[in-house]
Amino acid sequence: MKKEPVDICIIGSGAGGAPMALELGRAGFKVVVLEKGPHYQPGDFVHDEILNSRRNFFMPLPWEEPHLVRQGPQGRYERSNAAWTANCVGGGTVHMSGYFYRLKPVDFRLRSTLGAIPGTTVADWPISYEELAPFYDVAEAELGVSGEAVPHPFAEPRSGPYPLPPLDVHPIAHEVDRVCGELGWHSLPTARGIISRPYRGRAGCAYCALCGSYGCEMGAKSGTNASLIPAALATGNVELRPLCMARSVEVDEEGRARSVVYLDADGVEQEQPAKVVVVSCTAVESARLLLNSVSNRFPRGLANGSEQVGRNLVFSSFGESRATFRVSKQKAARPWLLNPAPFVNRSVQDFYLMPDERFGFRKGGTLGFMWTHPNPIFAAVGLAGSGTAGVFGKELKERMRAYRDSRILQFEVYGEFLPTPGTSVTVVPEVKDKYDIPVAAITLDRHPMDFAATRFLVERGEEILLRLEPDDVQRVGTSGETTILQHGTCRFGDDPATSVLNRDCRAHEVPNLYVVDGSFMPTAGSVPSTLTIVANSFRVARGLVARMKQGL
């Protein structure tokens, strides 16, 4: 059934879609937001690990909605729920940990800084940090970000302080500060998308320790579900339709987007005409939607005349190590181990960009320090191990007793994930999801510099952990990727032959189609990208409002 036309139809309500809805609604335009998942309310966010982490509360089940993933072009596809973020109003911002970093000026000119890197498709951004900086300010204020800006060698320029003071931290944060100082490095307060005191009608953080993997029943986490979406709905110009799965974007005879075809909550096909269509489903899912939007005008997928849709997929490189402090052994000398405060909120960025390639790379990354997540089932599975190394019975009980007597400090590496010709998204017509739509197929073909940089950063992080004199330091890995942080697939640029979008995130080939999730990013930077996606969406929205008011 065809709906009444609106000014803008936005697909997705997360970091990219919500700012567009808010700005366009404030400007008086009629907006419909289609969201694949449900609209959870604060009462739905309970501290239940099985519900949140082991069922389909956030992520779809791989036998219902698989992603196909393979290692290298000759690898075999495996069904997975990797590279999903979250299917609900607010998307991945609902269960994020809320580590909110800005990119650095160098991230916008990586190709110019590093030169050509064989085996990569590294490109400069068509905009600069200076152009995006005012919208970082807007994003931090609209979402509610707590933090403290301090000087360090790779500090990005700021126009002022964070909107909210930093969250309270555990005493071990000051120990990290101390040992970093001894090493000549800089321990930085980590800004958080969590409000440290009441803000715009929302309650401040209750310090429950369950941020990542959980929704916030307090509304203190600055997901778009708690901040931007309510503000957008309050304009009276935005209609939110949850449980609506977009199938395709349709075009008219001139090649302009005319409507979005979707399945509603009852599985009935609907069509929403709009003057402008904004896609923001995540880099993987937006590419899938465009590639499945086939027409006579676009036989290889919408806006894909240059065959760039789905290419240059970029995640985030990942590494991790953990330090274990046995409380019973160390509490006399370190009584602060008994402090239950959940946040460490410390980062190190001294190795964000190396002066030369003596270690096999130049673009490094960020170390983020935190206590390990307290999910008990996840911890028990890890303690038990698997295969021939797996244990049970008395030995497993002993490991669990030791775990309960421990505080475990970890760091995560956010490293550059260099774009390569072989890392991409396509669709496989023979494999369909429960909606009968061809699924996304992901090929990973990593560049060796990624692993060199991640290993180096892990080694530096372990130097910090060892100086804290724990009972044990365990390396978890140096060659992973964080697939929840997604970029590329519809990169923006000035050349239509090598990019899908222009600098305004408008498709080169479809003048009323915009893509505003992480798809637009030619490179991911070496920090979590959520804040950058929100900031860019505000930038794009302001430009779109101006053009629509001028009748362009």
Q: Domain containing 279: what range?
A: 6-549
Query: In 3D, which of 246, 241, 335, 339 has the Cα closest to residue 289?
Result: 246
What CATH number has the domain bearing residue 219?
3.50.50.60
The residue behind tokens 């709905």 is 233
Q: Is the pLDDT of residue 300 over 80?
A: yes
76 CB burial (10 A radius; 0-12, 13-18, 19+): exposed
Query: Which one-letter amino acid corresponds to residue 539?
Result: R
Residue 315 inside a domain? The answer is: yes
Residue 1 inside a domain? The answer is: no
Lowest mean pLDDT among 227-241, 298-312, 393-407: 393-407
> 3-state class of 141 per DSSP?
helix
Number of separate domains in the chain: 1
> 3-state class of 519 per DSSP?
helix
Q: Are the CB atoms for 507 and 256 separated by under 8 Å?
A: no
Would you list the DSSP string of 296-320?
Answer: SS-TTSTT-TTS-TTEEEEEEEEEE
Q: Are the CB atoms for 153 and 485 separated by under 8 Å?
A: no
Q: Is the pLDDT of residue 215 over 70?
A: yes
Residue 269, φ and ψ in degrees, nearest 5: -70, 130
Query: Which one-letter amino acid corresponds to residue 27?
Result: A
- Mind listing the pLDDT tens digit for each residue in 306-338? 999 999 999 999 999 999 999 999 999 999 999
Residue 334 inside a domain? The answer is: yes
Q: Are the CB atoms for 520 and 492 separated by under 8 Å?
A: yes
- Mind listing the pLDDT tens digit for each residue in 65-97? 999 999 999 999 999 999 999 999 999 999 999
Q: Is the pLDDT of residue 116 over 80?
A: yes
Tell me, what's the pLDDT at 296? Answer: 95
Would you list the DSSP string of 77-90?
Answer: PEEE-TT----STT
- Mind listing the pLDDT tens digit for each residue in 377-436? 888 888 888 888 888 899 989 988 988 999 999 999 999 999 999 999 999 999 999 999
Cα 168 to chain centroid, rounded: 24
Residue 101 inside a domain? The answer is: yes
Residue 295 inside a domain? The answer is: yes
Residue 513 inside a domain? The answer is: yes
Residue 527 inside a domain? The answer is: yes
Tell me, what's the pLDDT at 552? Answer: 63
CA dihedral over 185, 187, 188, 192, signed as positive or negative: positive
